[in-house]
Amino acid sequence: MKTAYVGVYETWADWEIGYLLVELRTGRFTGEQWNVVTVGETTDPVTTMGGLRIVPDMVLADVEPEDGDLFVLAGSAQWDEGGGEAFAKTAQRFLEAGVPVAAICGATAGLARAGVLDDRRHTSAVKEYLLATGYQGGDNYVDERAVVDGDLITAGPDSPVQFARAAMQRLGLASDEKLDAYEGVFHRADPSAYPALVG
């Protein structure tokens, strides 16, 4: 069974990666269940932005890229306050090892500050948000809901469904037709597309 490591921290934006985590853990859409392992800087409980209390399964210092298949980072107040450096460094290690990293909303700012986005196509809330970090990757910013560049998946805060879709596509968990139907369901697309979800 493959493993997705999920960074958790105070004010973690739980809804931003909810679609992705549900599909990975249950396999209800992809037919493949994953281990979803929460990772904190310590094992002390953290409280999400939605008020859920999470006790991390393991500490960040013990996470090794070769033991996982994906590293997921959501937004939180810490990114806008200049925090999250340890998580950004871990993301860099995963990318250097050829293991995918999926970052959404504020987490993209953390990766920008760490230089991770300088040479990779990416997206976020808006280009100006990342430029405020002082990063050098502005020329690689793409104004799309979600962007995949090799092993890096990024998305803005208004795109949790597209984020999930992009990650599942990068991981090879479903066909393009099925992913189109998946995204369509959550955007009230033509119901005639729905059979592709179970086909």
Q: What percent of the chain has pLDDT over 70?
A: 93
- Quick: pLDDT tens for 74-115: 999 999 999 999 999 999 999 999 999 999 999 999 999 999
- The answer to whether the CB of 69 falls within 8 A of the CB of 4 is yes
Is residue 9 over pLDDT 80?
Answer: yes
Is 81 buried (19+), middle (13-18) or exposed (0-12) by CB count in 10 A?
exposed
CA–CA distance from 2 to each of 37, 110, 162, 187 (Å)?
A: 11, 26, 22, 29
Radius of gyration, alpha carbons of the chain: 16
Q: Is 59 in the active site?
A: no
Confidence of residue 188 (pLDDT cuts 50, 70, 90): low
- Identify the bridge partners of residue 162 per DSSP, sorted by sequence position: none
Q: Please pick, among 63, 88, 91, 105, the residue that the annotation labels catalytic.
A: 105
* Predicted TM-score (pTM) of this structure: 0.93
